[in-house]
Structure 1
Amino acid sequence: MQREEETARAKETADDASLTLEAYADTIIPGEKRWPGDRAVAGAATGGGAVAAGALELLRWDATGISDDLDDLAQRVNEHARAYAEERGLELDPDVPPFVALEFPDRTELIARLTRPGHPEKEFWVLLSLFCNMSFDSAAHLHTADALRDGHPGLTVMGITEPDADGLWRFQNSGYGRELARMHPSTTPSGSPA
């Protein structure tokens, strides 16, 4: 019985961390709600934002170097949200984590405070914000061709073109209106140097 309670508590903690991190990502690059009762995504913008772009997947990717610290970051931002709510006299919904319970303007104000010069934890929040942004504007956690094929919201909005049939990008017109250098004679068909 005790083991089942511990497992349930661990799952609830993980779910709370996921909701909190999604709400953080949605504050950095807002998107539309995924369903009517979506609490993490505030619906402050149309189209897909950082959450739809895979922010949670990118944050959990071990290549970021912060994947092991995400639960701690979620806990910290929830502590800051609790303090912010007390300061503002806001009543938080106890059914969701404190940061998720904040309205979108309060979320943005809190993140602005956390990322301001002089805040003792600024580097954590700036780093988390950069990775949320990265999920949208570069889809670093995905193969670019796959992301485009699947309609990745950030790459699509930025107008990134699909690759040629062989999966490579080629451009008919050089960026400067002329070819800058001749192809090296040892360049392979894939474009790699020999």
Structure 2
Amino acid sequence: MTLEAFADTILPGEKRFPEDRAIAGAAPGPGAVEAGALELLHTPATGVTAGLEYLVVALNSHATAYAKENGVELDDTVPPFVALSFSDRTALVGRLTAPGHPEKDGWVALALFCNMAYDSAAHLHTADAIAAGHPGLLAMGWRAPDADGLWRFPRYGYGRKLAEVHPDTTPSGSPA
């Protein structure tokens, strides 16, 4: 729940159900959590998986200190970070990721993976993510691959062709 609340603070979305406490509902549509941030964070290839338990404890400790410092009463039925309002979560994450904070690198890495789950669906095969309606890829205008599973772009991204295809390029696009 704490990691969901952190991911939602980085890239907010709408509540999944009315009583949702982790998702603050600060933005319409899906955010990092719906895009799979927790799945990505628990992927060993990220290198952060082993430290997630520590980060949850640390984040809740920081939330408790933040609440005390700012006179915020926390609901003890949920983890401290989850109990903070969205604006307080945002302020706390701003502190944790600010230049000079001794734990900045860990919090920035966590935030980057939350963004990555939305922006690139790094935990999924791109074609599968698009077929499943991944919210971030759809929001960015990714379309399904052609029938053979390859992406082709009939219009050039810069409005013009930048180079000719090398004569030894195979039909699959690989160099010979």
The bucket for the TM-score relative to the shorter chain is: over 0.9
SS at match of 2:169: coil
**1:2-81 alignment to 2 at 5 Å?**
19-81=1-63
- Aligned match for 1:101, one of 83, 98, 104: 83
Q: Which residue is equivalent to 2:168?
A: 186
1:141 aligns with 2:99: no
| C-alpha separation in 1, matches of 2:13 and 2:102 | 29
Q: After the TM superposition, which parts of structure 1 deviate over 6 Å for at least 4 consecutive aligned residues?
A: none
- In 2: Cα distance, 1:163 partner to 1:61 partner: 25
Separation (CA, whole Å) in 2 of partners of 1:136 and 1:178: 29
The residue aligned with 1:163 is: 145
State the distance in 2 between where 1:178 and 1:121 align.
45
Counterparts of 1:113 and 1:55, CA distance in 2:
21
- Counterpart residue type for residue 190 of structure 1: S
TM-score by length of 2: 0.95
Residues matched between the structures, number: 176
Q: Gaps spanning 5+ residues in structure 2: where?
A: none
Greater displacement, 120-129 / 181-190? 181-190
| 1:37 CA displacement | 1.0
Residue 151 of structure 1 and its aligned partner are, at CA, apart by: 1.1
* Letter aligned with residue 71 of structure 1: E
Q: Deviations over 1:53-108 (max 9, x none)?
A: 00000111111111111010011000000000111111111111100111100000
Return the letter of the residue paired with 2:52.
L
Q: Write the distance in 1 (CA, Å) between the matches of 2:18 and 2:30.
A: 15
**How far does residue 179 in structure 1 lie from its aligned partner after superposition?**
2.7
Identity of matched residues, % = 68
